[in-house]
């Protein structure tokens, strides 16, 4: 558990968050100005209602003029109807602004996440990112919607009430002003407590989101190992911490409104006492006293709202800071200023003394690797777990850049190419088949923007997937469910192959594409893959060595280095690592 944060104060971070929020407000400033003008109208109408109390008191208690009484009686619903229209308009405008700005920030956040390099997702917990996309966005939306409404409208209302009181009696109005510095001090103290507790609460909520996601995705392991009690215990600890942090926040929130009311009641009691004496001595009229009492009761709601605005603002600023921290992340893999086009791939791919270490790790994933993949050839990479095979894929797709050395295609460094152009020319079939909660067509068509149904059907036939797709209830339009849960492993893998086929790539990368399949499915998928090889350059990452025997060249990696290289026959003859791994896998193979 992290150390308790120091008491935060308004500083550069808060001002920076406000400046960035204002940048989102600026395009909609006309609507905000309209809302502010309407709020001014609401405050003015509130003042008019209080001013009406003076004549009403005179008519009822001092004079009894039927005509004046009738005019006042008609004025009351007219003024309140006007106030209804203004209040509806201000609420609508501020709701629109709050929704629109959070919509734009949410879109920017989602877009920025897709622009970040893979190292961000390696170091970030997905639940924490989800908390920022949901919980923090909700808190920010509330702040954008309600804080300006409370601060502008209710501050104006308080000012109008003070003006009305000064007009009625300046001496007693000065007494009412005593509450302002006291309230400012109270809100300042409570604001620091609110900011500290809300910041920690949001951090813990990220942990809770992560714990939920972790258990849902790993439920098979949780149940298989009877880990329910351990998972629940961890969740309870984090949930309990969130409860205590939020209770600190709610204690400060719950105290602010009533405390402001109590301070106001002290001033009100003083005014009632002094007003009573003044009326008794003839220094004040009952109508003036009615205006003062009316002002105080009209200030009651705005005072509570201002206290509430403080807590909403603190929570919103913390949420904004967390959201902007993601927007401030910079991709480690950057686009060149003048990218070179993907070459013809007629000279091959060269790893030139490439070394790579993942961010935050001390060990090298690849160390001084030099190899060439000739155009139109199938090169297989094999080796023990942790030897650097998957890292090879990450670098070839430019998900990361080499720490040392360079990777070239026809002599052009990958860092000189556009990532989008590079990946458009590369087809990937990975060990983990990712399917989206979409139809068969939608999942395969990811491979090429604007693909037609005929294109998708052709890719399915090449991937040996057309037959099983035709048996689905809605064919190409069949929803696959979350992560393609309605399909078998072999069916999911065939759709992944079809997706890669649809791109018609110059370079095909197969990252242990059959490692999670049974023997029957593996043979079918392997046959589908081999139909893609002619006319393409293929880099094949393999765990089962039976799948690489036909490769033009087999490269064995161990501890991030190239251990040996050659054809299947040559490597068996060398009796090295490849031969040893082959013998082990033959011993492990089930009898035919």
Instruction: For residues 390 and 384, give the distance between their C-alpha atoms in angstroms, rounded to a whole number.
Output: 11
Cβ burial 140-149 (10 Å sphere, 16+ → b, else e): bbbbbbbbbb
Residue 489: name the closest of 512, 457, 507 by CA.
512
DSSP state of 435: -
pLDDT at 404: 93
Residue 69: the pLDDT is 65
- Bridge-based pairing of strands 553-558 and 378-382 is parallel
Q: Where are the alpha helices (DSSP H) in 488-549?
A: 489-502, 519-530
- Residues 540, 429: Cα–Cα separation, whole Å: 10
Q: Which residues contact 429 (CB under 8 A, 6 or more apart)?
A: 493, 496, 497, 500, 508, 509, 510, 511, 513, 529
Tokens of 285: 């009229």
Q: How far apart are CA 202 and CA 412, in angstroms?
A: 46
CB-based burial label for 306 (10 Å; 0-12, 13-18, 19+): buried
Would you state the pLDDT for residue 213? Answer: 63
Give the pLDDT score at 494: 84
Which two tokens mark 289?
């006293």
Residue 179 DSSP label = H
Closest CA to 439 of 410, 468, 472, 488: 472
* Of 546, 534, 550, nearest in space to 592 by CA: 546
DSSP-derived 3-state class of residue 550: coil
Could you give the CA distance from residue 102 to residue 95 in angstroms, rounded to a whole number? 11
What domains sit in the chain, N to C, each tagged with a CATH number?
A: 15-327 (1.20.1560.10), 352-425+506-592 (3.40.50.300), 437-504 (no CATH)
149, 90 Cβ separation under 8 angstroms: yes
CA angle 284, 161, 185 (to 5 degrees): 110
Tokens (6 digits) for 527: 């046959």
Sheet holding 561-566, edge to edge: 426-430, 507-511, 537-541, 378-382, 553-558, 561-566
The list of the chain residues with pLDDT below 50 reads 1-9, 588-592
Of the candidates 265, 300, 25, 278, the residue with the CA atom closest to the CA atom of residue 148: 25
427, 446, 401, 426: which is closest to 343 by C-alpha? 426
* Alpha-carbon distance values, 300 to 84, 269, 286, 307, 359 (Å): 19, 14, 21, 11, 56
């Amino acid at each position: 558990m992290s150390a308790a944060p120091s008491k935060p104060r308004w500083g550069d971070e808060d001002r920076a968050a406000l400046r960035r929020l204002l940048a989102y407000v600026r395009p909609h400033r006309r609507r905000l100005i309209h809302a502010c003008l309407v709020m001014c109208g609401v405050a003015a109408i509130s003042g008019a209602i209080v001013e009406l109390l003076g004549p009403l008191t005179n008519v009822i208690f001092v004079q009894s003029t039927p005509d004046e009484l009738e005019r006042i009686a008609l004025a009351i619903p007219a003024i309140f109807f006007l106030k209804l229209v203004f209040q509806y308009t201000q609420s609508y405008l501020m709701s629109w602004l709050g929704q629109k700005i959070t919509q734009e920030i949410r879109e920017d956040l989602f877009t920025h996440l897709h622009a970040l390099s893979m190292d961000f997702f390696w170091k970030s917990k997905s639940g924490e990112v989800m908390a920022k996309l949901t919980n923090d966005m909700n808190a920010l939306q509330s702040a954008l919607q309600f804080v300006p409404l409370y601060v502008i409208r209710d501050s104006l209302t308080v000012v109008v009430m003070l003006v009305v009181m000064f007009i009625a009696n300046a001496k007693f109005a000065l007494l009412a002003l005593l509450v302002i510095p006291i309230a400012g001090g109270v809100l300042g103290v409570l604001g620091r407590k609110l900011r500290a507790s809300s910041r920690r609460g949001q951090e813990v909520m990220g942990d809770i989101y992560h714990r939920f996601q972790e258990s849902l995705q790993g439920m098979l392991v949780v149940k298989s190992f009877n880990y329910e009690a351990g998972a629940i215990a961890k969740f309870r600890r984090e949930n309990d911490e969130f409860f205590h942090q939020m209770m600190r926040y709610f204690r400060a929130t719950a105290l602010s409104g009533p405390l402001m009311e109590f301070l106001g009641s002290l001033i009100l009691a003083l005014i009632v006492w002094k007003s009573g004496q003044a009326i008794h001595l003839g220094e004040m009229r009952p109508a003036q006293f009615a205006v003062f009492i009316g002002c105080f009761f009209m200030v009651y709601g705005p005072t509570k709202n201002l206290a509430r605005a403080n807590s909403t603002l603190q929570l919103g600023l913390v949420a904004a800071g967390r959201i902007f921290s993601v927007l401030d992340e910079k991709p480690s893999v950057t686009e060149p200023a003048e990218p070179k086009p993907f070459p013809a791939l007629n000279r091959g791919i060269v790893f030139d003394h490439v070394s790579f270490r993942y961010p935050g790790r001390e060990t090298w994933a690849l160390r001084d690797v030099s190899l060439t993949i000739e155009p139109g050839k199938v090169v297989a990479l094999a080796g023990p777990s942790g030897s650097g095979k998957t890292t090879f894929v990450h670098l070839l797709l430019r998900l990361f850049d080499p720490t040392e050395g360079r990777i070239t295609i026809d002599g052009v460094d990958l860092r000189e190419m556009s990532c989008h152009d590079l990946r458009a020319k590369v087809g990937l079939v990975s060990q983990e088949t990712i399917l989206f909660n979409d139809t068969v067509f939608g999942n395969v068509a990811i491979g090429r923007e604007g693909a037609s149904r005929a294109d998708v059907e052709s890719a399915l036939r090449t991937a040996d997937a057309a037959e099983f797709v035709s048996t689905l209830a809605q064919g190409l339009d069949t929803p696959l469910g979350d992560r393609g849960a309605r399909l078998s492993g072999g069916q999911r893998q065939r759709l992944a192959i079809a997706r890669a086929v649809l791109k018609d790539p110059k370079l095909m990368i197969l990252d242990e594409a059959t490692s999670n399949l049974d023997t029957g499915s593996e043979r079918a998928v392997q046959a589908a893959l081999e139909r893609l090889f002619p006319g393409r350059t293929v880099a094949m990452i393999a765990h089962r060595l039976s799948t690489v025997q036909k490769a033009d060249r087999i490269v064995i990696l161990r501890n991030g280095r190239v251990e040996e290289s050659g054809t299947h026959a040559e490597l068996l003859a060398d009796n090295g690592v490849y031969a040893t791994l082959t013998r082990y896998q033959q011993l492990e193979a089930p009898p035919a």
